[in-house]
Structure 1
């Protein structure tokens, strides 16, 4: 006997119209909370001085945030099906506000770290909540336009974090990064609770504690292991990654078995939708490219070209703005012409931009760097909106929350993998050249070129997936695949 997977009552998408108020509010809230994922990058030197910690310890203000997101997002699919929209929003924003307030007054680094973990706990719920609600309340013919606005929150916010923090740190303490966020997040929370309406009806069902533990340890270990690469010792991170992968395999097996009962924590039947799986791969590699460039470009500009964090932030800001401003236009084009006219040129643009970055030098004109960065960000904007819309649109309604959770989880893993990949390649190449007698600046420059070259090579996979994607999402079947179908596909899922 199979678990009941019918869509919740009252959750049918209405016909077209403007962007629903609920989506506007959730986009605003999601932008505010996701901005915090990268806002501490520029504050590392200040933390080392003020709180008397090493650079490795200080990096944990970003690593802990990412780890918490990776550990909690897999559970959000189950959670969002069992609470009302208002309750999920109130809990997410309430937790985020508590974490922000604690971080702003943290007397020690340990308390700051606790505050960041609490912040991330609220953030982990917001993106899946936004994506699930959007797919439920927005009619298919309007999804591209609305998803284009969502791009601002999920893609531009991480890119703008270092820029905003660079500006604030020029005039004040790192504590102002949290102090200024408190009233903004408070107003957004108040507006949401005042205007937000519940979408659909929550379902009943007990949570599988073992699945929660396996997901937290598995995805958390995977992201942590990836984040430790590039520090010299490769054995320990490799063992942590292997342990994480093993725990994720056990987690996947358990989800398949739970499908016979009250339902899994993360429904893996989303992977049996071909369009969703292709979208997932494309998004992961594209996000990897974005995060890799976010690490390499500031390193190049500050260590080799001598720019300050503020100057670096201002140089990369046009790319982030282009990404956000193009979102609505990309959405409208998608609604009218479909995804292929956007995704294929975007995939080529991503590869071209990364290939262009392999030519960086100590004298490369800043306008060329600016042009390449804008090309990369604009191409990512043109890819993300269609990919999210096509992927989730190919799922039956009852799997939207699980599809959103899978996307969010993979984003965190891709971000960690992208960072680990470029840092490891860059450091390995630079150290090798320094040992052979090459000057330090030239060695680091060569390391960065090689890291960009590897990223460009990987981005060819984005082009392949773009060609394979349909222009429109296929009509999802009313019911998701059965447990037996999922079990038949298990060897394929594990192998992939």
Structure 2
């Protein structure tokens, strides 16, 4: 049976989509290294500034669920043009921004483009490559998902130190233009255009649900949970999400087919991805602030100090992808989360205002050595268990939760960072500013370390989806044999 769709240039299609998604995901964290500069330029607090990251992720979390519906209404080329076009407009708006509001608006428009490109990339890659070649290809997809947000602070540190933070967006805009000119003619349609009825109630519930939930988490950085400004949108968001799920289950043509979560390895793989993205986005917003404000490094040096960890990710991703089909997901996931846990324990026990920088570099390298082995194997194994007709729904569900994880990780990290600083100031009133900031970062790593423990426990239950499908097919053949002989 044919396991994939034939297209003229599968490698070129995959490359264009991966580059577009890479630039968009790079944009998630690119401003983390520039947050202090943005705060100075626009005279805003850290809690307000973090909305540049949280708002980006919030937009993705709202838009990505709609992607499964979009892929049934529009061709692959139309979606790629729309995604790259919106991303370009957002990048130009942010580059020209005379105020924080315009900068935030540009970020949101750019996120809308990424919200289209990301699920399209994942769905298309699954459709145009046979299952026996997916390990290596999904290794590259995993590299995009992990390396792009991790490289954000490193590359932006170089740009900020030499040209200024506005040029982060000018470079992004240039890449979007190149991809539109070269890439869009190479796009063949691989989605089945059925144009199902648009359920605006589902879209509204999804928007209110994810929006309210993430807004509440982000607002906790500035206001306590007892404030109606926090708990009200949180409660409304949870209720809306419950209603959204109930509606999807009871509809004949749901916006997202939640039946994907009936597949055990898909559910477990999605959870492992969720936890991994939480760790990536939490550390990617904390470490640049720590290196710059607590240890006193410039943006350029701070970015370069994170480069070895990103290099490990780049080197390991193709290796893990090529070995995935032979070794399977469980071994990678278990070893990966052990490494992630070790790295976070190092952060937890060494972070201070006078930590030797080699310890931070070593811990970051170990962290991404582990994360490379948790993300791609978990994602590939999860999606491999789904039948072809559920790829778009599975991609939308997984990417939505990934963006929720990113937004939650960023918001919770800033909230705990602020709480840790306040607690330390109460205990040590005469502490210096670097000591206070280091204490806030260290306090947050208790949470990240706990996430690592949960991830390690989950990895113990992973089974190989391909092996499960093969065993199921063999059992069907054995059952059918006696019938055929009669």
TM-score, normalised by the number of residues in structure 1:
0.88
User: Using the alignment, how far apart are the partners of 2:173 and 2:411 within structure 1?
Assistant: 32
Q: 1:319 is matched with which residue: 287, 297, 309?
A: 309
Q: CA RMSD in A?
A: 2.5
- Look up the match of 1:337: 327
Q: Point out where structure 2 has 5 or more consecutive residues left out of the alignment.
A: 474-486
Q: 1:468 aligns with which of 461, 466, 469?
A: 461
Provide the residue aligned with 1:43 in structure 2: 34
Which position in structure 1 is the counterpart of 2:81? Answer: 90
Counterpart of 2:25 (choices 13, 18, 34) is 34
**Deviation (angstroms), 1:411:** 1.3
How far is the alpha carbon of 1:472 from its aligned partner? 3.8
Which residue of structure 1 aligns with residue 178 of structure 2? 187
**In structure 2, distance between residues paired with 1:475 and 1:125:** 30
How far 1:432 sits from its partner (Å)? 2.5
Comparing 220-229 and 356-365, the one that deviates more = 356-365
Quickly say closer, same or farther: Cα 1:243–1:41, change in 2 above 3 A.
Answer: same
C-alpha spacing 1:30/1:403, structure 2 compared with 1 (3 Å): same
Residue 80 (1) aligns with residue 74 (2): no
Contact 2:94 2:166 in 1 (8 A): yes
Query: Which has the larger displacement, 197-206 or 137-146?
Result: 197-206
Contact 1:29/1:189 (<8 A) preserved: no
Aligned twin of 1:21: 12
Q: Which residue of 1 aligns with 2:230?
A: 237
**SS of match in other structure, 2:460:** helix
Task: Pick the aligned partner of 2:116 from 108, 125, 129.
Answer: 125
- Shift of the 446–47 alpha-carbon distance from structure 1 to 2, 3 Å rule, reads closer
Q: Distance in 2 between matches of 1:433 and 1:30?
A: 40
1:306 equivalent in alignment to 2:296 = yes
Give the 3-state SS of the residue equivalent to 2:422 in structure 1. Answer: helix
> Per residue, is there more helix in 1 or in 2?
2
How has the CA–CA distance of structure 1 residues 70 and 390 changed in structure 2, closer, same or farther, with 3 Å as cutoff?
same
Rounded to whole Å, the distance in 1 between the matches of 2:296 and 2:373 is 32
CA distance in 1, matches of 2:329, 2:87: 35
> For the Cα contact (< 8 Å) 2:88–2:177, is it kept in 1?
yes
The 2-side partners of 1:118 and 1:82 are apart by 21
TM-score (norm 2): 0.89
Distance 1:447 1:44, change over 3 A: closer
Per-residue deviation, 1:321: 2.3
Q: CA offsets, 1:209-230, max 9 Å, x none?
A: 1111111111011111111223
Residue in structure 1 matched with residue 211 of structure 2 by the alignment: 220
Q: Contact 2:47 / 2:221 at 8 angstroms: preserved in 1?
A: no
- The Cα shift of 1:55 comes to 5.1
Match of 1:452 among 442, 445, 450: 445
For 2:397 and 2:383, locate their aligned partners in 1 and report how far apart those are by CA, in whole Å: 10
The alignment status of 1:283 with 2:273, answered yes or no, reads: yes
- Unaligned stretches of 5+ in structure 1? 1-9, 479-496
SS of match in other structure, 2:4: coil
Query: Of 105, 110, 113, which residue of structure 1 is paired with 2:101?
Result: 110
Contact 1:151 1:385 (C-alpha < 8 Å) held by counterparts: yes
8 Å CA contact 1:282, 1:461 repeated in 2? no
Count residues in correspondence.
466
Change (3 A) 1:299 1:45: closer
Q: 2:56 maps to what in 1? A: 65
**1:83–1:203 Cα contact (<8 Å) kept:** no
SS of the residue 1:83 aligns to? coil
Q: Which residue of 2 aligns with 1:365?
A: 356
Query: How much has 1:195 moved relative to structure 2?
Result: 1.5
Question: Offset of 1:422 from its aligned partner?
Answer: 3.2
Does the residue aligned with 1:347 lie in a helix, a strand or coil? helix
For residue 281 of structure 1, give the secondary structure of its aligned residue in structure 2: helix
CA deviation after TM superposition for structure 1 residue 160, in Å: 1.1
Say which of 390, 397, 404 aligns to 2:395: 404
Distance change in 2, residues 1:200/1:12 (3 Å): farther
